[in-house]
Amino acid sequence: MRKVEQSKRVRLEIHKCPGCGAQIQFEQPGKPGFIPSDVYEKRLKEGKELLCQRCFKIKNYGMLISDADEEEIMDFLMKVIKNFKHILYVFDVFDFEGTYRPEIIELLSETNILYVANKFDTLPSIISASQLKEWLRNRIDAPNSKIFVTSTKNGFGIKKLKKELEKLSGDLLVLGVTNVGKSSILKALTDSDVTVSPYPGTTLGLVEHKLNKLRIFDAPGIITNDRMIELFDSDCQSKVFAKGEVSRKTFKPYPEDVIFVSGLCQIKAKLLDNFSSVNSELRPIFQIYAPENVTFHKTKNEEFLESYPKHFGKLLVPPCKKFDLSLLNLKEERVIVSSNEELSIAGLCWINVKRGPVEFTLRLPENVKVHLRESLMKPKRKFNENSDD
């Protein structure tokens, strides 16, 4: 009889996890919202924080124990978007093409959208906020006043964004691709005790916050499936994502050289018409920007090229461990990039051409998108176009 009474009491007290927004449940370990019923009762009795097991382990041990259901998340988002007049759309400035999603923005045509260009601290320090905003204005159909450049790591731009949000009232929905820093921004804006982690898909429901007269709801991260980083498991993603200023390496390859950026992207490059016809010895010059834990490796060794998967997790990262290439279909893509353009590989890196035009031949997973864009990096000095000295 006592067990029945305890079970009834547990059911009566059930609520949503304050960390991720998932409904607390006791039947399905490993699924969103799970917490053992005895732990729930004990913490409830002691007046302690009632985080689900997933959020508790992320917060206290940095451990991820379950993944979000992609289809369920998208169905959920399509239903809730229509209920909001204000949207805060957050994207990662390093991976702009991978995280700014025009197909999502099209669904928000009748809403007031504020754009947050987050993780400004990951960009090279020579890029100013004003330069970034000017570059973004050419890509986002929004007044400059609606684009906010932020970094939760050093607090850049947070006060300005907060001041703007304090002018609003009603309900606001926070949207963005997984791991763009939505929860970190909300923690900085509202001092809320939310689950902030480097893992993708942390937020599994709508988590409510308040800022003056504004109710702010954090939505689950949008999963895109066309970014390189999404091919790897959650632990690997958390290790690889840029947490500080990105790494940069300059290359001046010969036509036979193959450059690995991680283990799943191979690049060959050759200089086209303009200079090669004048001096056949000239080589292309370009710089690759990637998160600090992504490795670069240049080679023309045939033995290495035939057996490169054995270097996964060591010389070639990501993957962070053994990876079954048979699960992927690889494609070869050719793109011509001039000296005022950049090549962006979603969820991995971008390439800034110093001497071009350059024809890049890429070998990478077929679902990963490649984008040609106007250069964000403006060179401080001009390379000698007629000499390799």
The domains located in the chain, with CATH, are 2-61 (no CATH), 70-224 (3.40.50.300), 240-374 (no CATH)
Does residue 83 register a pLDDT over 50? Answer: yes
User: What Å distances lie between residue 151 and 154, 328, 382, CA to CA?
Assistant: 6, 35, 31
Tokens of 129: 């906020």
Question: What's residue 244's pLDDT?
Answer: 76
Tokens of 79: 């239903």
Contact assessment for residue 228 and residue 315, using Cβ atoms and an 8 Å cutoff: no
Does residue 152 register a pLDDT over 70? Answer: yes
Q: Once rounded to an integer, what is the mean pLDDT over residues 240-262?
A: 90
3-9: long-range contacts, CB 8 A cutoff, minimum separation 24:
6/41, 7/37, 9/41
Q: What angle do CA 163, 168, 170 make, to 5 degrees?
A: 145
Question: What's residue 7's pLDDT?
Answer: 44
Q: pLDDT tier at 12 (50, 70, 90 boundaries)? A: very low
Cis amide linkage into residue 318, ω under 30° from 0: yes
- CA 235 centroid distance within chain: 14
Q: Is 207 helix (H, G, I), strand (E, B) or coil?
A: strand
Contact assessment for residue 118 and residue 185, using Cβ atoms and an 8 Å cutoff: yes
**In the chain, pLDDT over 70 holds for what percent of residues?**
86
Given the structure tokens 């926070």, which residue do they identify? 174
Question: What's residue 198's pLDDT?
Answer: 61
Tokens of 195: 């689950």
Contacts of 163 by beta carbon, 8 Å cutoff, 6+ apart: none
- Helix then strand then coil, % of the chain, to nearest 5: 30, 25, 45
Question: What's residue 2's pLDDT?
Answer: 43
Contacts of 237 by beta carbon, 8 Å cutoff, 6+ apart: 179, 198, 199, 200, 229, 230
Q: What tens digit of pLDDT does each residue of 159-197 get?
A: 999 999 999 999 999 999 988 989 889 989 987 766 666
User: What Å distances lie between residue 117 and 90, 122, 133, 135, 356, CA to CA?
Assistant: 6, 11, 9, 12, 29
Q: Is 51 helix (H, G, I), strand (E, B) or coil?
A: coil
Bridge-partner residues for 156, per DSSP? 151
Helices (H) and strands (E) in the chain, counts: 12, 16
Please report which helix (H) or strand (E) contains residue 41, including its range: helix 37-46
Structure-model confidence comparison of residues 311 and 78, the more confident one: 311
Asked which of 77-81, 181-185, 256-260, 297-301 is least confident by mean pLDDT, the reply is 77-81
Q: Tell me the one-letter amino acid at 263.
A: G
320-323: long-range contacts, CB 8 A cutoff, minimum separation 24:
320/232, 320/233, 320/235, 320/236, 320/239, 320/240, 321/236, 323/232, 323/263, 323/264
Q: Once rounded to an integer, what is the mean pLDDT over residues 239-264?
A: 91
Q: What tens digit of pLDDT does each residue of 323-362 get?
A: 999 889 999 999 999 998 999 999 999 999 999 999 999 9
Bridge-partner residues for 267, per DSSP? 259, 362
Over the Cα atoms of the chain, what is R_g?
23
Task: List helix spans (H) across 166-240.
Answer: 182-190, 234-240
Question: What's residue 144's pLDDT?
Answer: 82
pTM: 0.82
Instruction: Give dist(CA 60, CA 52) in Å, integer.
Output: 12
